[in-house]
Amino acid sequence: MSDTPQHSPLPELPELEESTDQATEVSGLLGQMITKVSSVFAIGFLLSMATLIYEIVARHVFGSPTLWAHETTTFICAVGFVFGGLYCAARDKHIRVVLLYDIAGPKMRKTLDICISLVCMIASGFFAWAAWLMVERAVFTPTGDIHLETTGSAFNAPYPGVLKVFLLVVLIVLMVQFLVQAFNYARKAPIMPTSHTSTE
């Protein structure tokens, strides 16, 4: 008789490919496009890290700090974080409070999925309107001319204006993405979370 304790086998983890297929099915072609361009923004974070390393070397080794490094890295990271919300929605991985969702049956889950997507779409619409109000002030002068808001520093880059325009575009796309998801949820049975499937 062996003294080695017996342990029950661990449940198998869900396949990444299966999760990817489910997200693609719900988010549609728009979600696929968002996922494909996401690597550009991921590379942006690496670029910002390299810029900061360059600034540290230039400042503390050569005594020649830059005017552009800090503002540029802040801008690149801000763009990445803004896009991150859209990416999470396209992957159907945005934060959910699952108190009611966990105890609901398949039909109720389908209804909740549709309602959640529609509520998110409406909320994104309100945020897009607020972003447009910011864009009006950041892009147009009182006389109606186009002039992007700048940082006001010695470098004085138009990063604030560009970022606000980008935020508006992302929120509009986010609105459309939630509408696509609501439509796709209505067409099919809800995707049952793999964490709640029982294994014998």
pLDDT tens for 23-50 read 668 889 999 999 999 999 999 999 999 9
pLDDT for 119-169, tens place per residue? 999 999 999 999 999 999 999 988 889 999 999 999 999 999 999 999 999
Question: pTM for the full model?
Answer: 0.81
Which of 12-21, 119-128, 163-172, 191-200 has the weakest average pLDDT?
A: 191-200
CA 89-186-83 angle, to 5 degrees, is 10
CB 45 within 8 A of CB 38: no
Q: What percent of the chain has pLDDT over 90?
A: 66
Tallying the residues shown for the chain, one arrives at: 200
Give the span between the Cα atoms of 111 and 55, in whole angstroms.
Answer: 52
